[in-house]
Amino acid sequence: VAITTALTRQLAINAPILLAPMGGVSGGALAAAVTQAGGLGIIGGGYGNREWLSRELDAAGNAEIGVGFITWSLAKDPDLLSIALDRRPRVMFLSFGDLAPFAGPIARAGIPLIAQVQTVADARAAVDLGAQIVVAQGTEAGGHGATRATLPLVPAVVDAIGPVPVVAAGGIADGRGLAAALMLGAAGALCGTAFYASTESLAHPAAKRTAVAASGDHTVRGTVVDVVRGYAWPERWNIRTLENAFSRRWSGDVDGLKRDLERQSKAYAAAQEAGDMDTAAVIIGEAVDLVRASESARDIVQRMTVEAEARLRAGERLIDTKR
């Protein structure tokens, strides 16, 4: 199977699927596996832990992979960008914040820049700053995001910045979603939730098991997970997770959580370590309904592309040629 788009041509890949740079979850092995399956793996540098980043870059071996950072966090430790650029990643991926300080160094290194945005205005701004590919992320996404939904956001971004390739993100976890994204004018899909429970994912085994059993009916956007972890996220973005005892206890009482922060933070960190998912968050999107097993990244990429191709062919049968 081969689906050819502006994205596959630009990146010289076989499948129009990008692994989302899930902070701490998309490590070198997962990124390499997605690349080897025909897509492009992107390591989730997240808030930027140097030791973690170096280890995961090594773990990717010779595979061509990209590196992603949370932009506002990178601004606090800009040297991290050089560590990534020194490894000559296939792409740099930036999301959540002002691209301006980083677009120049990335361009001078000759590395393509992918920017993830949540609004049409930010898509235009990213292209003006030199982004070569723009990811339009809908609110369905797991992890941080904003308010607009994928279905109307993607074609609006395509209209605003075409012919720059637009990649759809948020809620795409099978071939049906991939085919739909292509029909909206996207050149591919960026997927996080689909790979969260994969065998190569660095998510805690208990978090993977919880994700496989979970329903998209029970994800919520909120701030308590960031408050308890001590991350000062700008207000325009919050985080989608599975609802659990911790989110139910504190989402209506953020001030109470802040008053008890030291104790709660210790308990939260211990829960993360132990895989206690009643307290620690399973960071996952609405598409978690479609995650029904822990599979290899290769199987996920292959199933998505085969299924998308079948859907695209089936689409033609909807047209009544006799009329």
Ligand X SMILES: Cc1cc2nc3c(=O)[nH]c(=O)nc-3n(C[C@H](O)[C@H](O)[C@H](O)COP(=O)(O)O)c2cc1C
Dihedral sign (CA 3, 7, 9, 15):
negative
> CB-wise, 234 or 252, nearer to ligand X?
234
- In the complex, the smallest distance separating the C-beta of residue 207 from ligand X, rounded to whole angstroms, is 9
> CB-wise, 147 or 258, nearer to ligand X?
147
- Cα 200 from Cα 120, distance rounded (Å): 34
Q: Which residue has the tokens 């104790």?
A: 263
CA dihedral 193, 24, 73, 225 (to 10 degrees): 70
Which of 311, 319, 295 lies closest to 196, judged by CA?
295
- Cα 309 from Cα 296, distance rounded (Å): 20
> CB-wise, 15 or 316, nearer to ligand X?
15
> CB-wise, 253 or 273, nearer to ligand X?
273
- In the complex, the smallest distance separating the C-beta of residue 9 from ligand X, rounded to whole angstroms, is 22
- In the complex, the smallest distance separating the C-beta of residue 169 from ligand X, rounded to whole angstroms, is 4
Integer-rounded Cα radius of gyration of the chain = 19
The residue ranges that bind ligand X (CB under 6 A) are: 20-23, 25, 44, 46, 68, 70, 95, 116, 137, 140-143, 169-172, 190-194, 196, 283-285, 287
> CB-wise, 95 or 238, nearer to ligand X?
95
- Cα 249 from Cα 245, distance rounded (Å): 6
Instruction: For residue 114, give both structure tokens.
Output: 């992918």
